[in-house]
Structure 1
Amino acid sequence: MKQILVPLVAILLLSFTEKKTIEIEYSAELKSRIYDNTISEAANDFLNDNLNEKKSLVKFINFKLLSDGNKYFFSYKKPMVSDNYNVSVTSIVSRILDGNDIYTDLNDSISYLGGFDVWVNIDRKLNPYDVIWDISKSKKEILGLTCYKATGTLKDIRFANSKSFPIVAWFCPSLSFRGGPTPHGTLPGIILEFETPQAVLTAKSYKLVEKKIEEYKNKNRVMSYPEYLEFIDDWNKKNRKRNEN
């Protein structure tokens, strides 16, 4: 009888877990900028001071991922910003993400980057599989879980923000979910640490929750990433001409 009950309990626990959604909270750290020899020392000092303010404020921003294994949503909660800061939360998040939030449906091979509520409010549409992952044998523990290192490169520079590449992800195969702080969370395990040339996001907690991931609903105009790049290029050219006149 015991030999029958043990597999049965295991099956019930597995089916219960599969119905869950994983919720992960991340903290972010901004990297220092490289000194730019093409601008003045005063300009470099100004940019460094501005970045130091962002580094100070970013620790108050909570980033969160919800994933059911096929769909995931990555977002953040805005902190109460005091008048002592001269930088906006949006300017900080834009160094970490390429959008206000991320919605990805891996079954439909589609990701959306939500547009920021400043300047041009445009949601961008991407294919999550447009990144080539190189999985290495390097591993480390995050939150007591074994994670493996993967480096991601774009198949084509028009398919996403090429300035944010290469990307590095530490993913955990023992957590049977997919996703992370990127529209390209196609690795065989949830991403617990994610790095771009500008920032690093590291998981600080995770739990299983009974939450449904809402379907994507655009609040702004939607463009594919190549269309968005053409739009930005045209916008810059037009405004450059206006400034010259």
Structure 2
Amino acid sequence: MKKIIYWILLITNLSFSQKNIIVEYNVKIENEDIFKNNADLRKLMNNAIQNSNSLKFILNCNENESYFFSKNYLTTEDKLLTNSDLIFAGYLGEIYQKKDTLFKYSNILGNNIFLKKDAKTDWTLQNETKEINGFLCYKATSTNKIVYGEKVFNHPVTAWYCPTLPYNFGPNGYSGLPGLILELQVRNVVYGASKIELNSTETFKIETNKMKILNEKEFEEALNKLNDF
């Protein structure tokens, strides 16, 4: 029996090799009891919660690299509002990934500037399972440490990954698990796979030679200069 399972997994992995998988994600922004003293930010968050069902994101990946982007373009007159919906969804721009290296576009700095950073690896694998779009997924957990002045926040991260889809990528730059991430919750934002296209012929290129790439120190310095201005 073990030999049969081994050969099934081997054939599955071979069938996906060199092929692209495209996943479309819906997003749900859950309410948080914050911004009590800032009516403008509270209004923007309420709008983002209401509008989150219209946000769509795409992950295009193969066994070596991935490309994650929003399908929502700034076509409305109120671009600030559209941007704020994406920001409250935790999305700041398109993300390319090669193996364990992320290239994150900066909506703030713009001008084809990308932040280069290492992918997340500090996952704890759990025994819980659930089915997502017909695929058996396993749970993994982690935290994001956020330092804001003298305060430190640890935001919970929960991912559900599918070992039978043997690419270790996921939405919004989250990766490093033994299977494709089909659901991801970071704090109050949940990305959930709504469509999965296997063996896609749609490809992409990561052209780092055309990017202006900053490491994390350079990126932080650029943000500080922007804030000073």
TM-score, normalised to structure 1, is 0.74
Query: How far 1:51 moved relative to its partner?
Result: 1.6
| One-letter amino acid matched to 2:138 | Y
User: Residues of 2 paired with 1:219 and 1:125: CA distance?
Assistant: 14
Larger radius of gyration: 1
| One-letter amino acid matched to 2:81 | S
Which residue of structure 2 lines up, in the alignment, with residue 243 of structure 1? none
The answer to whether 1:103 aligns with 2:93 is no
User: Match of 1:229, SS?
Assistant: helix
Which residue of structure 2 lines up, in the alignment, with residue 140 of structure 1? 130
After superposition, the Cα gap between the structure-2 partners of 1:152 and 1:124, relative to the gap in structure 1 and judged at 3 Å, is: same
Pairing 1:16-35 to 2, within 5 Å after superposition: 16-35=15-34
The answer to whether 1:207 aligns with 2:201 is no
User: Residues of 1 paired with 2:226 and 2:12: CA distance?
Assistant: 54
- C-alpha contact 2:48 2:88 (8 A) present in aligned 1: no
> What's the RMSD between the two structures over aligned residues?
3.2
- C-alpha contact 1:132 1:155 (8 A) present in aligned 2: no
User: Residues of 1 paired with 2:220 and 2:101: CA distance?
Assistant: 18
Q: Deviations over 1:182-235 (max 9, x none)?
A: 324110000001111241110001012112231234766321123322432454
Which residue of structure 2 lines up, in the alignment, with residue 78 of structure 1? 72
Query: How far 1:105 moved relative to its partner?
Result: 0.7
Decide which of 201, 212, 216 is 2:207's aligned counterpart: 216
Q: Deviations over 1:81-112 (max 9, x none)?
A: 556x6853222222234531111111xx3111
Decide which of 221, 228, 231 is 2:219's aligned counterpart: 228
The answer to whether 1:172 aligns with 2:166 is no
Decide which of 97, 117, 133 is 1:126's aligned counterpart: 117
User: Residues of 1 paired with 2:10 and 2:178: CA distance?
Assistant: 22
Count of residue pairs the alignment pairs up:
216
| One-letter amino acid matched to 2:34 | Y
| One-letter amino acid matched to 1:120 | L
User: Residues of 1 paired with 2:12 and 2:46: CA distance?
Assistant: 47
- C-alpha contact 1:54 1:87 (8 A) present in aligned 2: no
- C-alpha contact 2:146 2:153 (8 A) present in aligned 1: no
User: Residues of 2 paired with 1:31 and 1:202: CA distance?
Assistant: 13
Query: How far 1:139 moved relative to its partner?
Result: 1.6
User: Which shows bigger deviation, 72-81 or 217-226?
Assistant: 217-226
Q: Which ranges in structure 1 are unaligned for 5 or more consecutive residues?
A: 1-9, 240-245
| One-letter amino acid matched to 2:139 | K
Q: Which ranges in structure 2 are unaligned for 5 or more consecutive residues?
A: 1-8
- C-alpha contact 2:28 2:52 (8 A) present in aligned 1: yes
- C-alpha contact 1:62 1:76 (8 A) present in aligned 2: yes
Which residue of structure 1 lines up, in the alignment, with residue 62 of structure 2? 68
| One-letter amino acid matched to 1:63 | F
User: Residues of 2 paired with 1:186 and 1:226: CA distance?
Assistant: 23
Which residue of structure 2 lines up, in the alignment, with residue 7 of structure 1? none
Among all aligned residue pairs of Structure 1 and Structure 2, give the percentage whose two residues are the same amino acid.
23
| One-letter amino acid matched to 1:93 | L
User: Match of 2:142, SS?
Assistant: strand
User: Match of 1:182, SS?
Assistant: helix
Query: How far 1:15 moved relative to its partner?
Result: 4.2
The answer to whether 1:56 aligns with 2:50 is yes
- C-alpha contact 1:164 1:196 (8 A) present in aligned 2: no
- C-alpha contact 1:53 1:87 (8 A) present in aligned 2: no
